[in-house]
């Protein structure tokens, strides 16, 4: 077993345990903060725009894949090789744009609600 295999064999379980510890720690910290504010941490927390968020994320990812495919087919391969990086880049870019659009829609809706309540 060479050094990189040994390093991977050590780091993967350690990072997995650190991630689990971090998730549990942050969840408990959030529950304590909710208790300090007088809220019930066991109560269901609604997320009204989850479907919109995931829908726009998938739409953005799909558009990124489509654009990457079109670019890949129209541009000749560099040195006879395919370029898979363009697929990952465009999926990330368009997925991020979908999440930004979702944020903008949610923010506009929230501001409209606050404006209507003030009147």
Same domain, 53 and 79: yes
Measured on CA atoms in the order 104, 110, 113, 116, is the torsion positive or negative?
negative
Phi, psi (rounded to 5 degrees) for 77: -65, 140
Q: Inform me whether the pLDDT recorded for 86 exceeds 60.
A: yes
29/74 Cα distance (integer angstroms): 52
Same domain, 64 and 118: yes
Q: Inform me whether the pLDDT recorded for 117 exceeds 90.
A: no
Same domain, 22 and 51: no
- Per-residue confidence at 76, pLDDT binned at 50, 70, 90? confident
pLDDT on residue 25 = 96
Tens digits of per-residue pLDDT, 31-73? 898 889 888 877 766 677 788 888 888 898 899 898 888 888 8
pLDDT on residue 23 = 94
Residues 6+ apart with CB under 8 A from 35: 41
Same domain, 8 and 28: yes
Same domain, 15 and 53: no
Count of structural domains within the chain: 2
Same domain, 97 and 82: yes
pLDDT on residue 44 = 63
Listing DSSP states for 54-95 in one string gives HHHHHHHHHHHHHHHHHHHHHSPPBTTB--THHHHHHHHHHH
Same domain, 112 and 72: yes
Q: Which domain holds residue 75?
A: 47-119
- Per-residue confidence at 110, pLDDT binned at 50, 70, 90? confident
Same domain, 29 and 60: no
Q: 């390093």: which residue's tokens?
A: 7
Q: How far is CA 21 from CA 12, 14, 24, 48, in A?
A: 14, 11, 5, 29
pLDDT on residue 80 = 61
To the nearest whole number, what is the mean pLDDT of the chain? 85
| CA 47 from centre of chain | 15
């Amino acid at each position: 077993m060479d050094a990189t295999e040994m390093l991977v064999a050590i780091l993967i379980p350690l990072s997995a345990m650190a991630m689990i510890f971090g998730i549990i720690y942050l969840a408990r910290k959030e529950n304590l903060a909710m208790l300090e504010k007088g809220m019930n941490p066991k109560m269901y927390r609604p997320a009204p725009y989850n479907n919109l968020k995931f829908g726009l994320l998938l739409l953005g990812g799909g558009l990124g894949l489509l654009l990457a495919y079109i670019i890949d087919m129209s541009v000749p391969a560099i040195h006879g090789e395919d370029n898979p990086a363009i697929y990952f880049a465009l999926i990330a870019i368009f997925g991020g744009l979908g999440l930004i659009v979702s944020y903008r829609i949610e923010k506009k809706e929230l501001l409209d609600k606050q404006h209507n309540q003030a009147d």
